[in-house]
């Protein structure tokens, strides 16, 4: 297996992530991904024997990249800056119009997904809540850090969905601004 940045596996994951963020897990097929990376669908099956394998690999990569970027963006930040960096990172999902957070999409569709994918998505959200909870606690910004962390994650995820549905990205920006004001400004 090559480590080249454009290795087939990575390109398949890229194509899958872009599409699932827009249309959901069940709307994306192996053939569609194969076409997108100019291979045959048998090659996709070679790398991901079952669709659930692709789903798990995708969420795992998303999870890792998210926290790597979060760490990089908050190296010497105050608690308030950390929370703003978190909201800014969530927003990147909207850059491809109509797309939302990968895990927001899969979380909504949980009831119809393979169990291993559901577990991976749950792990992403638990890590999100733990991270924000630690920041709130560190900054003494909340009297109930875990509840407020959960609310912040829920609000930002809901704002992504609503922005996509209403086709108005400013919905997210205005929501994030008011969350900051109410919860930790």
Q: Which residues bind DNA (CB under 7 A)?
A: 1-2, 8, 28-32, 34, 38-43, 45-47, 49-52
Please tell me the distance from the alpha carbon of residue 67 to that of residue 127, in angstroms, as a whole number: 9
Stretch 156-175 residues interacting with a second copy (CB under 8 A)? 156-159, 161-162, 164-167, 171, 174-175
Sole binder of a second copy in the list 70, 127, 180, 183 (CB under 8 A): 183
Nearest C-alpha neighbor of 161 from the set 9, 15, 3, 24: 24
Q: Which does 162 bind (CB under 5 to 8 A by kind): a second copy, DNA, none?
A: a second copy
- Of 2 and 170, the one with the shorter C-beta distance to a second copy is 170
- Of 38 and 95, the one with the shorter C-beta distance to DNA is 38
Sole binder of a second copy in the list 85, 105, 135, 136 (CB under 8 A): 105
The answer to whether the CB of 117 falls within 8 A of the CB of 55 is yes
Nearest C-alpha neighbor of 101 from the set 164, 168, 152: 164
Q: Which does 98 bind (CB under 5 to 8 A by kind): a second copy, DNA, none?
A: a second copy
The answer to whether the CB of 183 falls within 8 A of the CB of 142 is yes
By CB under 8 A, tell whether 143 contacts a second copy.
no
Nearest C-alpha neighbor of 93 from the set 44, 7, 22, 40: 22
- Of 16 and 164, the one with the shorter C-beta distance to a second copy is 164
Sole binder of a second copy in the list 35, 150, 169, 180 (CB under 8 A): 150
**Half-sphere exposure (Cβ direction) of 120: Cα atoms closer than 13 Å:** 22
The answer to whether the CB of 149 falls within 8 A of the CB of 133 is yes
Please tell me the distance from the alpha carbon of residue 14 to that of residue 4, in angstroms, as a whole number: 14
Q: Which two tokens stand for residue 89?
A: 């990172």
Stretch 14-33 residues interacting with a second copy (CB under 8 A)? 21-27
Residues near a second copy (CB under 8 A) are 21-27, 98-100, 103-112, 118, 121-122, 125-126, 144, 147-148, 150-151, 153-159, 161-162, 164-167, 171, 174-175, 178-179, 182-183
């Amino acid at each position: 297996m090559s480590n080249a940045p454009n290795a087939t596996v990575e390109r398949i994951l890229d194509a899958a992530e872009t599409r699932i963020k827009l249309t959901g897990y069940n709307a994306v097929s192996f053939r569609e991904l194969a076409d997108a990376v100019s291979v045959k669908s048998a090659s996709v099956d070679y790398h991901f024997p079952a669709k659930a394998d692709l789903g798990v690999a995708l969420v795992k990569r998303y999870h890792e990249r998210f926290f790597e970027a979060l760490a990089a963006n908050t190296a010497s930040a105050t608690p308030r800056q950390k929370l703003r960096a978190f909201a800014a990172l969530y927003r990147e999902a909207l850059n491809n119009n109509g797309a939302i957070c990968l895990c927001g999409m899969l979380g909504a569709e949980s009831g119809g997904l393979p169990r291993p994918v559901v577990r991976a998505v749950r792990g992403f959200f638990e890590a999100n809540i733990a991270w924000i909870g630690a920041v709130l606690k560190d900054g003494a910004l909340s009297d109930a850090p875990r509840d407020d962390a959960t609310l912040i994650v829920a609000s930002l995820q809901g704002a992504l969905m609503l922005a996509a549905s209403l086709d108005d990205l400013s919905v997210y920006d205005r929501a994030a601004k008011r969350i900051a004001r109410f919860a930790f400004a």
